[in-house]
Amino acid sequence: MATMQLPAEIVCIVLEELRDDEEALRACAVVCTGWTPIVQKYLWRKLEITLHVRTKSHLPPFKPTVRIAPDIRPLYKAFKSSPHLPGNVKELSVKIHGDYWRYTSLSTIISNFIVSRISRIWHRYLPFILESLINVERFSFTNYLLHPLLTTCPDTVRDAFISVLRRPTLSTLSMPFGSALELFTMLCECPHLSSLSVGMITCRSHVDLSLYPRVPALTPNSLLVSCGKFWYLRLLNREFPSQSSIHFDNLHRIQIHVGMCYVVGDVSVVNTTEEVIRRNRATLRHLALNVCLNEPLTTLVDPTSLLSVDFQIHSTARSSQEHPAPRSWLDWLIASFPIPSTTDISIESCTLQLVQFCLFEDVRTFYDKWEALDGIFTSWPRLGKLSVQIQRQPYRAVFSPESDTRFPVTRVDVQDMFPRMMKEGRLVVVETQAGSF
């Protein structure tokens, strides 16, 4: 059958199944030429631009310069020759890295001088590319430098970034790594923002709070926070003067992962997290936490409207002696969902992330509590899947070598922890490597 005889709906269904297989999509575009316009929408859906800032001597002309990945010029030419391509980009990611070295020879000085001259053309290509992206829905900005870039880059580049942030289609802003100044600078230019994701905020971004731009009124419906304790408390408690008009009281999705310095039972973190959840009781549908709370969850949220939960639990070896993480989490979960009242629970999906769990210290020591939790999950009428993720770790590097009782939890161990969910076919166990969470 000729490819053009297939209805466009069927072609879209086929390509939707292959959306994550770039090689298969390229093959479809080459073999089935009639599919090419549709394939381009998937191939160009995500665009990543990488900038490398070279920190050099302060002696002129060896000043800090910027170079872009080698594919920036072909990308510029592609957008120039095919104006319809930028309209396919829905997700834009900009990553900024730093290169540091000392000059050791005359040849190095000469080569760096040439690079510093050539790299001046970076603001020729980048503004054109950014301004061509008219349908961006998700923008991710990652800055691994020790200083903000958006406030120091050329005006043409800064204006190009602002043009992306002001697009009416842009609804999601993500900053996995960067400074607080850059975060609020971008928030000032996102009038249509509905989802905010904040990762690690660099410690060297401390500046006078009066210099932060004042953010216009924003009420996102999704908040994902994965920064350290210090910035987490400042962000959620709205301690920035420029943040007074950002309201976190209409959230449908909350994901809170406080950094590794967080200790189970930290009063300030727990109180702040509970207050944020409590303010969104009427709207919250999806909740993900690595913070063990004090109050039962059913008193903080509406159990008849919550659809999914995701809890990240660390091993006893990563907890304080006063607050072992598994015991605290198990006590809190059992208190949150007493079995007689679980018939009103509307949760459809539950995920437990077991980080560096040991068979004896984290499972068999609390076997009666795991058994009680298994009964709670079984009683949830709408729970279609309990997903348990195990992080596999080289335990010899984590635990003392003289201990011979600490064995990592396996897939079979998890099945023994939740026998009733396993029997009903609602248990899914996934093993991941270290760093996958």
Q: What is the pLDDT of residues 133-187, one digit of tens each?
A: 999 999 999 998 777 778 777 788 889 999 999 999 999 999 999 888 889 889 9
Residue ranges making up the domain that contains 432: 307-437
The reply to whether 92 and 12 lie within a common domain is no
The reply to whether 117 and 18 lie within a common domain is no
Q: Whats the size of the chain, residue-wise?
A: 437
Q: Tell whether 329 is covered by a domain.
A: yes
The reply to whether 349 and 399 lie within a common domain is yes
Q: Tell whether 260 is covered by a domain.
A: no
Q: pLDDT band at 395, cuts 50/70/90?
A: very low
Q: Tell whether 24 is covered by a domain.
A: yes
The reply to whether 67 and 10 lie within a common domain is no
Last residue of a domain, one of 148, 183, 199: 148
pLDDT, averaged across the chain: 79
The reply to whether 37 and 85 lie within a common domain is no
pTM of the model: 0.82
Q: Name, of 92-106, 307-321, 368-382, the range with top average pLDDT.
A: 368-382
The reply to whether 113 and 68 lie within a common domain is yes
The reply to whether 414 and 400 lie within a common domain is yes
Q: Tell whether 197 is covered by a domain.
A: no
The reply to whether 335 and 388 lie within a common domain is yes
DSSP 143-203: E-SSS-STTTS-HHHHHHHHHHHT-TT--EEEEEEE-HHHHHHHHTT-TT--EEEEEEEPG
Q: Name, of 61-65, 73-77, 232-236, 346-350, the range with top average pLDDT.
A: 346-350
The reply to whether 37 and 87 lie within a common domain is no
Q: Tell whether 258 is covered by a domain.
A: no
For residue 286, how many C-alpha atoms fall within 13 Å in the half-sphere facing its CB?
Answer: 10
The number of domains in the chain is: 3
Q: Tell whether 192 is covered by a domain.
A: no
Task: Indicate the burial class of 8 (C-beta count within 10 angstroms; 0-12, 13-18, 19 or more).
Answer: exposed
The reply to whether 339 and 370 lie within a common domain is yes
Q: Tell whether 196 is covered by a domain.
A: no
The reply to whether 123 and 12 lie within a common domain is no
- Say which DSSP state 283 is in: T
The reply to whether 35 and 68 lie within a common domain is no
pLDDT of 247 over the 80 cut: yes
Q: How far apart are CA 22 and CA 394, in angstroms?
A: 33
Contact residues for 426 (Cβ-Cβ < 8 A; gap 6+): 377, 383, 384, 385, 386
Q: Tell whether 171 is covered by a domain.
A: no
Last residue of a domain, one of 82, 115, 148: 148
